[in-house]
Amino acid sequence: MSREAGYRTLVALTGILALLLVLQITGAFRGVNDSIGSALPEGGSLTGTFTDTASFALTAVYILLFLLRDLKDRGRLSRFTLELTAGIAGSAVIVALLKVLTGVPRPGEAQVHWNLMESIKNVDYLAFPSGHTTRAAVLAYFLSRRWKALWPLWWGWALGIGLSRLLLHAHWFSDVLFALFLGPWTGLLVELTENRWLPLYNAAVRKLKLGVFGVE
């Protein structure tokens, strides 16, 4: 994808995310969320096991494995692994901020009115957007860029993670839908702003004398 096409895609995704956020804040999703939530069966242990493949802990393991492969094959961190790590970290911050700002409780939980600090402490109680689905979508974006022929596998997995969150009644439909767009948006943002943040990153790596983590 050219940079021009990347910017066009980023603008389109930004518009979609803005629209979905407005619909969420205004309560437009409430009826759809309730209908889908009541229609779906309860997921079992296999669903829980599958959804855990996008947990924060396992995502950290995936990144560690990519790093070990980089060190074995190249002797240093690859651009792919750095971008993936930045995408996962950036998306985690965005998800946490949105959870705190929107204050949407998970299905079956009561609406609460916390102050800012209480919301931050209890961020896992909040639903919008889905962290698991966002991580899966970020991974799917970068894996599809790295192994293009396997993109149906990566995105099929990400969609499956979103469905598993619904079957476990851990999230509303709008939580998952927003997350599926947030993942590629974050990935694109990381790539398109790389010329700004990568020199700062490399300067910090050189200052700390951690050359193995430098990326050219």
* Known catalytic residue at 113: no
Report yes or no: 116 and 100 within 8 Å, Cβ to Cβ. Answer: yes
* Known catalytic residue at 171: yes
HEC letters along 18-40: HHHHHHHHCCCCHHHHHHHHHHC
Which of 171, 179, 188, 213 is an active site residue? Answer: 171
Which of 99, 132, 135, 165 is an active site residue? Answer: 132
Which positions are annotated as active-site residues? 132, 171
